[in-house]
Amino acid sequence: GSSLEPEEHSMEPPAVPEEETPLTAASDPAGCQLFGYVGIEAVLEQMKIKTMKTGFEFNIMVVGQSGLGKSTMVNTLFKSKVSRKASQPGQEERIPKTVQLQSVTHVIEEKGVKMKLTVTDTPGFGDQINNENCWEPIIKYINEQYERYLREEILITRKRKIPDTRVHGCVYFVPPTGHWLRPLDLEFMRRLSKIVNVVPVIAKADTLTLEERAEFKQRIQEDLKTHAISVYPQEDFDQDPDDRALNDRIRLAPRGERAPLRSQEKIPFAVVGADQEHQVNGKRVLGRKTKWGIIEVENPAHCEFPLLRDLLIRSRLQDLKDITHNVHYESYRVRRLNESNRP
């Protein structure tokens, strides 16, 4: 029971509990200091071994008119026959009535690393007299790959690894006219840049002099800025300072820069493709033989193909996949789920 006598209150202040010493030292903002080898850095080796066993996927699309060297450029990019022609050798070249997309999948292995490469070609794009809405089959194909991935992802019982057929990069071949971009080029890149990573290149750059090439690149850059077309790498997606510094060296020149010959590390790259080797100074090099000499594809002094290869494969391949998944596919997923939830 309760006592009726008043409680006695002590005049002494209550005891303050001792502060617990945190595990992380205050003088070490990075974390707890280790006094011996634990083996955390071995995680990188584990990830490397697992990736080499499972491999990874990369899907690339090439778009442009016939005769711009799209198939040759893809073969040069991966140094193997990974692209196919629109027609068989010896047959009459027939231009398809509509854009018919052709996808070829190969498994490429280099030093134990396997890559499942899918190349999607678009024969017939821009070859007709009336090219109205010729980009619709391409947009439909890209969205179909997003839809296929989304259906696999929302299943109750889904696969451990969802097959990834989404287009990670779209290389758009600009004809080497030396003038401004055509309305077809502007409209295509404006629509496609919203759903996929677009990388414009100047095809068959050996038909232009260095001065013509620099002037043409400057005009293309001005056209892209005027029409607010964002090509890869996009400034809006720069999160890490290191990535921003790397992208600044390959993206478009800042507004107002009108130097006659700027650095070659600028988009769009002026490229030349070749799938034949020639003897140059005792070495076998990929190149195109002309009456005045051999154009070496992998020589930065001749063309900017090495910069395109570094962008697509050696430095930004994983970034292309990350932007495709976190930005373009995420936008499509949100839009589709909102449509399905409407009454």
Q: Is the pLDDT of residue 260 over 70?
A: no
Q: Hey, what are 302's tokens?
A: 């001749």
Q: Is the pLDDT of residue 186 over 90?
A: yes
Angle subtended by helix axes 136-153 and 183-192, to nearest 10? 10
pLDDT tens, position by position, 60-105: 999 988 888 888 888 888 877 777 654 445 444 454 545 678 888 9
pLDDT tens, position by position, 298-311: 888 888 888 899 88
Nearest alpha carbon to residue 218 among 274, 189, 261: 261
pLDDT tens, position by position, 152-180: 999 989 888 899 999 999 999 999 987 88
pLDDT-derived band at 290, boundaries 50, 70, 90: confident
Which CATH class name applies to 45-79+96-253+263-341? Answer: alpha beta
CA 81, 87, 90 angle in degrees (round to 5)? 100
Q: CA 13 from chain center: how many Å?
A: 67
Average pLDDT value for residue range 218-223: 90
pTM for the model stands at: 0.78
Position 6: which residue type? Answer: P
